[in-house]
Amino acid sequence: MIIREIRVRGFGSLQNRTYRFESPVTVLYGPNEAGKSTLLGFIRAVLFGFPTRAQAADRYEPDGGGSHGGALLLEDKQGRTVLIERYADHGGPGRPPAAGSVKVTLEGGEEGGEELLRHLLGGLSAELFRSLFAFGLGELQELRTLQGDDIGGYLYGAGFGVSGSAVVEAERKLAARADALFRPRGRTQELNRSIRAYEELRSSRNRSADEISRYEEATAEWKRLGERLNELDAARTETAAELEWTRRCGKAFEPWLKLRRIQAEMAEIPEIPGFPLHAAERYEAIRQERDDFENERRQYEEESAALLRAVEALPVREELLEGAAELAVLEEEAGAYRSGQLAAASTETEKAQLNEALAALLRQLDEQWTRQDLADFPVSVGMKEQIREARDSFAKWDGERALLDSELSRVFGRLEEQQSELAERQLEWSEWLTLSGLREDAPGARTAAESGLLRRLSSDYAQWRLLKSEEEQRDRIREEEHRRQEEFEAWSDQRRSDSDRTRKKTAYAAGAIAVLLPAALLLSGQAAAAAAVFVVLAAGTAWLIFGSPDRARGNRRSRSPLKPEARTEGRGRARRGRAASSGDWLSAAAQPGEADHRADGEDAGLEADKAALRQRLQQNLALLLSSRGAGSREAAAARANGSSDEATAPGRMPLPSWPETLSWLDRELESWLTGTDLWAQHRSELERRRAKLEELKQSIQSLEKQQAAVSSRMRSLEERAASGQERWSVWLRERKLRPHLSPEAALESLQLIARGHDLLQRLAGCESKLAALQASSAAFEARTVRLLGEAEAADPLPGLRRRAERLAEQQGLLARRERLAAEAAEARRRETAAAQKARQAAERLQALLSEAQAAGEEALLRQAALQERLAQLAAEARLLSGALDAHAGVARRERLDAALSGADEGSLASREEELAGSLSGLEAEANRLRDRRGRLAGELEKLEGGSERGELLQRTEEQLAEARELGGKYAVLAMAALLVKRTRERCERERQPGVLRRASACFAAMTGGRFTQVVAPFGQQRLYAVRSDGRQVDSSRLSRGTAEQLYLSMRFALVEEFTGGASLPLVFDDIFVNFDRERMEGALRIIGQFGGKRQVLLFTCHEHVRDAVTGISPAAGVLHV
């Protein structure tokens, strides 16, 4: 996403400003109070909303009032433009009122609001944008801006460790809660107490029964009662089914009796096959239809006779219809005649007005001009072009004169400024040469070769310190492993002793069970089962006594050794400086093996690396000190670049001893690096000041040449203007125009002449039009006289109107006569149709009587009533038959008919009462037997477990459920703690180094290798910078400039880690205030690399920052604010 334009309508001190950006890296350069920080706040406000009114300083209300807000024109990766406008009138959906309303317009015309803007920004929050993408010096100086809730969570997800304290705290709390529930040999934990209580209840529950004989008698009686209950249940089911059938028969008796009566009545009515349905209704309807048609026929017959009499009574005069065609033509032309009369009067008026306008125009041109002079003057396009050319020439000379005056003033002002600045710079140059000298005996490299030797010394020394630290760590780990080996042996002895005691207790318990359980089976009469159980339990007891110890010792031997892979992993963790977990050190201590030999090999390799580094450090220090001591930098460069082998060969150069070398590195290396930086800055400043003086001298010479050239161009312009004015006066006199006219006035005169020509043409047109109108009116009046006669044609239009009214009256009478004749014919046609329909109805009446086999109307009605009664009885019989099927079922319908044929209501009721009494007796006996059987079951339960057996069983189950619930909670907490621990360790191994590696590379590039690494311990909100010698420095102990470089490196790394949907631009507001020139250039080189991936906007008021950006990135643009 690239910002192409910033359009500020009103924001703080900025009003109606537009800024355009073309380069990937742009410097916005301007003095203090120019509005750079205001522009940064504007970008934040348009993308994420205005702050609340309580934050007045960040809200930037317009100083002069008016609209508050503006727009950003963006361009995405596909080259499509996006316009984002936000004004502080009211909040949009999903935003507070103070945030303002936003409108997002895509290239295709699609519009949206906050939701579309959040989608375009890839879900980025305002806090994340302010901390990573658009920040100033204030945000850069604070580490806490990288630890907010929103950005802190993202940084942890991206692999940054300063937000991991919450993870470490969660892991600690989970472990503490798990320990509070259970420990392997604990006594006060909840789960330990619950397990002990369950064991005590289970031992109390296992007691033997004493009253065996009473138990057998109760068991036999309980079985007999069960068999009798089964018999009673079968009898009760049969009685209940018969009672239900009797009740169904009683409910169905009345419908069944009614169905029998209906069937008898249906048998008495004869059925006529094919008798028409609803014959009586149909007969009455057809007869009514025949009578209606007869009435309709008589009505149409009377109407036809009345219409024919009215036609004969209408009078029509044929002589008035003969001139109808000519009258119609004259009526059509009457409008044109009337318009012609009005047009003639209007034309006369227009003619008089044109004569007056022409006279006024001639007076405006010149008092001596006539109509003939006006008509003879030629107005052409060429003449107008000549006047326009003269006007353009005069305007061009005036414009050139104004431009040359302005340019001459500007060049003169610039020349004075440059001369004054040159004098000041020369004075500053003299003072700086006096004050900025450095001592030649100060430590530090002077040449590129010496700088290379110094960098190699710093890098090799840092690597040697890391190897030394690793060696010390390995020694500490070996001592820790020896101590843990001793602890493991003591723990193994204690474990074997506990195992022996547990085995003995188990054997004693198994022996007791092997005696008691077979005895109980033998007393119950199960001798075979008692023998089998005794044999099995005795074998188990013997196995516990004689076979378990060897197996236990074998298990201990199989569990004690550690797999070679696990020992190797433990060695690897020890080499990296991390302590192993409790399980790993126990296993590793139990059996040393192949990994010990491998560790010895690694120790030898470590010593070889240290020896090689010591050799290189001594050789490079000898080269560096010899080049400075002998004063031959050329020789040192030759030895460093191409002849290092010869220079360091034995016998060619004396090498310092290792204690001397180590002492020099500890005391002198840091001062040499600092001196090298100071000499580099000195040379850079010297070259910059010299180049600035040369640039000022060249600029002054260029301005003097520009001043002379502008003066020469001004003299040439004045000569050309005088010659052009003389040619213009001659041209006017040749055309009899006033010689003092300007080109604009001459153009106005030509316009007046052209207007006069137009007036002459319009006057001639008016005269011809008037003659034509008068001729047309005379012809119309002559034709009117021929049609109407002299008397009526005296006033043509009223006469034509009266003649048209009489003609219309006659035409109306004729049309009415034709309409009456047509209505009479229609009435005769309807009379014929009604007579035909009446005959058809009579024929349908006769057909209906034939179909019903009736001799006349009375016979038809009587037969119809009988057949209708038969249909009603059949429908009622079907309903009753369905009700009987519902009572008894279709399958038992015959049984129902047989049961009801010889019964009555009294016999059915008495049978129902008899069956109900029998069912009640059966249920009473069954309830009594169940009560007795329940008491026997309670007695048997007491005999089986004693009086407290049920209570013990319940308490045992409750205690077991409680132990299982606590065990589930412990399993969840232990698993959660393990998962959190493994996730944290994986994050430390895989995720965190990615961000910190990029931050370390950026920090090393900015500091020129003085710092090599950035470290963020997991769970601590701290950052550490690692020097080239391996020492870690807390960020709070760094200088302000170095701390800001560290925080900037972290932001650069996090920007690359950001995986949102949009590649947002980077906006920096004067962040290099505390950077020296070398580190600022290192940061600018990193920013230049960002320019190929995303847009960079750099706000600054420092000239050296602007020059450094353009020097490092030639394609960078500079925009003056």
Concatenating the DSSP letter of every residue in 967-981 gives HHHHHHHHHHHHHHH
- The answer as to whether 674 is a domain residue is no
Under DSSP, the state recorded for 98 is G
Determine the Cα–Cα distance for residues 300 and 288; give it in Å rounded to an integer: 19
What is the structure's pLDDT at 577? Answer: 41
Q: Cβ(1105)–Cβ(1072) under 8 Å? A: yes
d(Cα 643, Cα 189) in Å, to the nearest integer?
A: 75
1068: its two tokens: 């920096």
What pLDDT was estimated at residue 938?
Answer: 77
Residues 6+ apart with CB under 8 A from 1092: 24
Are residues 300 and 343 located together in one domain of the fold?
A: no
Give the Cα separation of 577 and 588 in Å (integer): 16
Enter the DSSP assignment of 1106: H
Let me know whether 429 and 498 are in one domain: no
For the purposes of burial, counting CB atoms within 10 Å of the CB of 706, is it exposed (0-12), middle (13-18) or buried (19 or more)? middle
Which distant-in-sequence residues (6+ apart) come within 8 Å of 1112 by Cβ? Answer: 1081, 1084, 1085, 1088
Residue 710 burial (CB count, 10 A) = 19
pLDDT of residue 588: 40
Bridge partner residues of 1097 (DSSP): 26, 1067
Same domain, 506 and 577: yes
Clarify whether residues 870 and 928 are in a common domain: yes
Last residue of a domain, one of 554, 576, 596: 596
Q: 226: domain range?
A: 212-264+864-945
Question: Are 300 and 393 in the same domain?
Answer: no
Q: Which residues of the chain have pLDDT under 50?
A: 91-92, 94, 144, 147-163, 207-211, 440, 548-592, 630-651, 947
3-class DSSP assignment, residue 538: helix
Distance, CA of 410 to CA of 403 (rounded, Å): 10
Residues pairing with 1034 in the sheet: 1024
Domain-located, residue 570: yes
Q: Which of 596, 628, 661 is at the close of a domain?
A: 596
Asked if residue 197 belongs to a domain, the reply is no
Residue 696 pLDDT: 80
- Say if 21 falls within a structural domain: no
Q: Which of 699, 801, 791 is nearest to 335 (CA)?
A: 801
Structure tokens at 621: 């220090």
The predicted structure's pLDDT at residue 657: 86
Asked whether the beta carbons of 168 and 980 are under 8 A apart, the reply is: no
**In what order do the strands lie in the sheet containing 1032-1034?**
1011-1015, 1024-1027, 1032-1034
Cβ within 8 Å of residue 716, ≥6 positions away: none
Residues 372 and 405 in one domain: no
Q: Are 977 and 182 in contact (CB under 8 A)?
A: no
- Please state, in angstroms and rounded to a whole number, the distance separating the CA atoms of residues 703 and 818: 110
Q: Which residues contact 1113 (CB under 8 A, 6 or more apart)?
A: 25, 1084, 1088, 1091
Residue 581's pLDDT is: 36
Distance CA 294, CA 115 (A): 82
Detail the DSSP E strand segments found in 417-515: none
Give the end of a domain, one of 596, 620, 649: 596
Q: How far is CA 195 from CA 203, 697, 829, 883, 962, in A?
A: 13, 98, 115, 70, 9
Does one domain contain both 889 and 868? Answer: yes
Distance CA 725, CA 767 (A): 46
How many other C-beta atoms are found inside a 10 Å radius of the C-beta of residue 461? 23
Q: For the chain, report the end-to-end CA distance as a whole number of angstroms.
A: 23
User: Does residue 164 belong to any structural domain of this protein?
Assistant: no
- In the three-class reduction of DSSP (H, G, I as helix; E, B as strand; rest coil), residue 933 is classed as helix
Residue 711 lies in a domain: yes
The answer to whether position 406 is within a domain reads yes
Sequence-separated (6 or more) residues with CB below 8 Å from residue 982 = none
Q: How many CB atoms lie within 10 A of CB 476?
A: 12
Sign of CA dihedral 178, 183, 184, 190: negative
d(CA 286, CA 840): 10
d(CA 721, CA 953): 128
C-alpha–C-alpha distance, residues 184 and 479, integer Å: 29
Residue 84 forms beta bridges with which residues?
Answer: 72, 104
Residues 790 and 889 in one domain: no
Is residue 484 domain-shared with residue 526, that is, in the same domain? yes
Q: Is residue 1046 part of a domain?
A: no
Q: Virtual CA dihedral for 406, 408, 411, 412, nearest 10 degrees?
A: -110
* 500 and 545 inside one domain: yes
- DSSP letter for each residue of 724-752: HHHHHHHHHHHTT--TT--HHHHHHHHHH
Q: What SS3 class is residue 690? A: helix
User: By the 8 A CB rule, do 316 and 814 touch?
Assistant: yes
**The predicted structure's pLDDT at residue 712:** 84
Query: 758-764: which pairs have CB atoms within 8 A and are 24 or more residues apart?
Result: 759/354, 759/357, 759/358, 759/361, 760/358, 760/371, 760/374, 760/375, 762/354, 763/351, 763/354, 763/355, 763/358
Asked if residue 497 and residue 592 are part of one domain, the reply reads yes
Which two tokens mark 212?
A: 């065996």
Looking at the 3D structure of the chain, how many domains does it have? 5
Q: Report long-range pairs for 463-469 (Cβ below 8 Å, ≥24 apart).
A: 463/613, 464/610, 464/613, 464/614, 464/617, 465/1029, 465/1030, 466/1030, 467/606, 467/609, 467/610, 467/613, 468/610, 469/1030
Inter-residue contact 984 to 168 (CB < 8 Å):
yes
Question: 106: number of CA atoms within 13 Å, CB side?
Answer: 11
What is residue 1060's predicted lDDT score, i.e. its pLDDT?
Answer: 54
Same domain, 573 and 478: yes
